[in-house]
Structure 1
């Protein structure tokens, strides 16, 4: 235990989430060793005063920067997601507060989603559903995915899980990351993201899973889409802000690429007036590619494990490099 008094834990969550958390055995274990303050966005500043730890369970919330002035004793912030951009602002970056995330929870489920949308495009499953609703028997031929070339932009754990799964079904996978290299165990060849457009013409599928940083924001713009094959499909399971949405819409309308599967958007929920909803060659899902049955319990378990480590002074897992904006990898 750190000190003689119980540490104070602030938990940012919605009302329904607070009820779920209170019923979690993992959280009940934490409550025996801490003063726990459940709070919504409106009460976050009050909850942060004299708090030692902040658990951002509501990982879509953008409330932390405005309440940061009240974090007078905070030593550690954990966010219940792999992406940390909601809490990556100058005050946090410049502070001594340790930042951890939930890296590893969603790797395989997102990889399954990516495989699913690739098969949907190749086998025209969405077209079959449309024809079924019309009671139309229309025979078509479909594409093979074996041997197709895939570029996974983002070489962290999620990108690696995607690479392994797509390789297992016979696709040829390369990566794009901060530095170019050969003989990577999951990607073989990794291209430098700084020269991404030089490599895009070679690929049938481009999968975006990079973290959102100053270098990656808007990396998929008109130049990137123009560089892709006209038969290529684009999949975004990273962050919506990786894409210049207007440029993507323009490229799809112009036939510069064959389709897109989008799970994340720069504005969420996706506005009803967005043209992406009604484009025949676009698959839209509501930021759910990683959300498997039981994922919320797993997120709490990840935090609870780190809480035990923090109390005993053991090294925390998933410590984010605040300059890079993600957990560094040894590969």
Structure 2
């Protein structure tokens, strides 16, 4: 007697870790998989049976605490470009594949950075402040054409920033893991160990690097002292790239001329932070990449990658868990 034919393979189970809000629509995901939405309290119970974990709440630090001692989903996807909150030892050492949402934020962040450069050069934040005080005070402003911008971070976001700034007339260079000349987006790229030398020549220093052991606290008092007194620091990467107390001290002492900060060590930024009231600082609430439609785009990136998995094609945006970002190939 012939053995019974195997039954149909059930679709994968995707656990979606939500936060204060849920994804806008998961119809494309539900067409490919069984979907279970959970909050942080239910995550530990949901993970052992999950095939995939979709970390929609990219602020969470609950995944590490909930990760099962053995097993766990074979694939974890996060709805952000940064993956630093996922790279805890148990996940790094596991065979679980990690992917991110690379591509959603590149151009919006590049546009935002260009806006910040213009705002700083033209003192737009000062103009708004004076308008609120009904004060008519004429000032001269700066040109951005010919100014020198140093982009720290040579991934897709850093490259988009480089292209946007170069298109506006700035002379762009970069800092990354590997030195190279004549990069199509960033011009001369300096190695990370020569960051201090590169800082000395820049009018605008833009931080767009991922948070790794190599980049944490890389802008400290010594690095700030290498910058020009007329230079500005723009951070759209991670708050932990900068030693915040050192930056406050440098701004107060006039070591650098100003800063535009979209990310902070602790978020939301505490109301007691002196950064709020500094006239040479622009503070924004981690919004540089959040252009209209970004939530839908995040779901689309995951759904397209889920289709790759269901159809047996390589996943895209695969993170090198040792490096902390998507590697050169980015597929698996």
TM-score computed with the length of structure 2 as normaliser: 0.94
Q: In structure 2, how many angstroms separate the alpha carbons of the residues matched to 1:156 and 1:133? A: 39
**Alignment-derived partner of residue 128 in structure 1:** 127
Q: In structure 2, how many angstroms separate the alpha carbons of the residues matched to 1:173 and 1:147? A: 9
**Alignment-derived partner of residue 228 in structure 1:** 227
- 1:181-227 CA-partner distances (Å, limit 9, x unpaired): 11111111000112211221111000000000000000000110010
What's the offset of the Cα at 1:179?
A: 1.4
- 1:3-52 CA-partner distances (Å, limit 9, x unpaired): 712211110002531xx44xx1xx22322432211011111101112100
Deviates more, 1:115-124 or 1:297-306: 115-124
**Alignment-derived partner of residue 109 in structure 1:** 108
Q: Is the 8 A contact 1:212 1:239 kept in 2?
A: yes
**Alignment-derived partner of residue 76 in structure 2:** 77
Equivalent of 2:17, from 12, 37, 40? 12
Deviates more, 1:61-70 or 1:285-294: 61-70
Q: In structure 1, how many angstroms separate the alpha carbons of the residues matched to 2:183 and 2:84? A: 27
* Cα distance change, pair 142–71 in 1 and its aligned pair in 2 (3 A): farther
Q: Secondary structure at the match of 1:69?
A: coil
Q: In structure 2, how many angstroms separate the alpha carbons of the residues matched to 1:15 and 1:137? A: 43
- 1:163-186 CA-partner distances (Å, limit 9, x unpaired): 000001110000000011111111
Q: Is the 8 A contact 2:162 2:186 kept in 1?
A: yes
What's the offset of the Cα at 1:71?
A: 6.6
**Alignment-derived partner of residue 193 in structure 1:** 192
Matches within 5 A, 1:242-257: 242-257=241-256
Q: Secondary structure at the match of 2:143?
A: coil
- 1:208-266 CA-partner distances (Å, limit 9, x unpaired): 00000000000000110010001000000001110111111111111100000000011
Q: In structure 2, how many angstroms separate the alpha carbons of the residues matched to 1:32 and 1:179? A: 42
- 1:55-106 CA-partner distances (Å, limit 9, x unpaired): 0011111110000126734110000000001111111111100110000100
Unmatched 5+ stretches in structure 1: none
Matches within 5 A, 1:151-300: 151-300=150-299
- 1:250-305 CA-partner distances (Å, limit 9, x unpaired): 11111100000000011011111111111111100000000001100000000000
* Cα distance change, pair 42–133 in 1 and its aligned pair in 2 (3 A): same
Q: How many residues align?
A: 322
* Cα distance change, pair 35–123 in 1 and its aligned pair in 2 (3 A): same
Q: In structure 1, how many angstroms separate the alpha carbons of the residues matched to 2:148 and 2:162? A: 11
Q: Is the 8 A contact 1:50 1:72 kept in 2?
A: no
Q: In structure 2, how many angstroms separate the alpha carbons of the residues matched to 1:260 and 1:71? A: 45
Q: Is the 8 A contact 2:32 2:307 kept in 1?
A: no
**Alignment-derived partner of residue 147 in structure 1:** 146
Q: Secondary structure at the match of 1:166?
A: helix
* Cα distance change, pair 15–146 in 1 and its aligned pair in 2 (3 A): closer
Q: In structure 2, how many angstroms separate the alpha carbons of the residues matched to 1:89 and 1:61? A: 13
Q: Is the 8 A contact 2:126 2:279 kept in 1?
A: no
TM-score computed with the length of structure 1 as normaliser: 0.95
**Alignment-derived partner of residue 49 in structure 1:** 48
Q: Secondary structure at the match of 1:296?
A: helix
Q: Is the 8 A contact 1:211 1:239 kept in 2?
A: yes
Instruction: Report runs of 4+ in structure 1 exceeding 6 Å deviation.
Output: none
Deviates more, 1:169-178 or 1:136-145: 136-145
